[in-house]
Amino acid sequence: MPAIFSYFFGNTPLIFGTIGSKEASVSPSVYRRPCGFYNLGQVDYAEAWAWQQSLVAARRENPSLEDLLILLEHPPTYTLGKGASLEFVKFDPATLDLPVYRVERGGEVTHHCPGQVVGYPIMNLRYYRQDLHWYLRQLEEILIRVLALYDLKGDRLPGFTGVWVRGQKVAAIGIKVSRWITMHGFALNVSPHLEGFERIVPCGITDKPIGSLAQFVSGIDLNEIRQQIAAVFAEVFGVELISLV
């Protein structure tokens, strides 16, 4: 299983990241901004949402606080972006037996469920690049690189945000940025049951089916994917991940 190891040379962190069979080393002279890493199990959406809001509020008050990457799964839940249209919802939200939330991220309706790895980066883009389009492309790049470890070609589609494999959308992205501090993030379908997506038009895209990595990679391991996401996240953003759980 891929792992991340952190050593110290004097007072300077020296990072070695193993991603699949590729090992990446960083010179002791290269500073990497610390980033806390929570690798959690299944968390109710409302709890994770409130937690994100509190983390963002703390960083708006104190911008020097460390960045965070949170990986988790949610029980079956539907969420709509702040401007999402109900025309892409095939059920009555008032009568559904599952939670439905309208949240502050961008984008249309999506579905969360076990077997889907959800990533919530809480990052101050002032330390990186104050450009939302750049940030979205970085999130896509992380997922594309993870797919490549399984010999899968992840594609971007012009005019859309997310990642596709062989015409099927396997990753959705929706963010909120306040004073350059990010919340919400990405959802990668690893091995979920896809029936829940049949109740909506995911992301408002009518002609692109939803897929999962399990359709292309037999026996794919969810925990391994989590570690690979973490390692590639650190590589793409140039941070030092510090495990908090």
With b for 16 or more beta-carbon neighbours within 10 A and e for fewer, the 134-154 pattern comes to ebbebbbbbbbbbbebbebeb
3-state secondary structure 86-138: HHHECCCCCCCCCCEEECCCCCCCEEECCCEEEEEEECEHHHCCCCHHHHHHH
CA–CA distance, 33 with 238 (Å, rounded to integer): 7
Per the CB < 8 A criterion, the answer to whether 88 and 204 are in contact is yes
Catalytic residues: 203
Strand segments (E) across 154-244: 163-165, 168-178, 181-189, 239-243
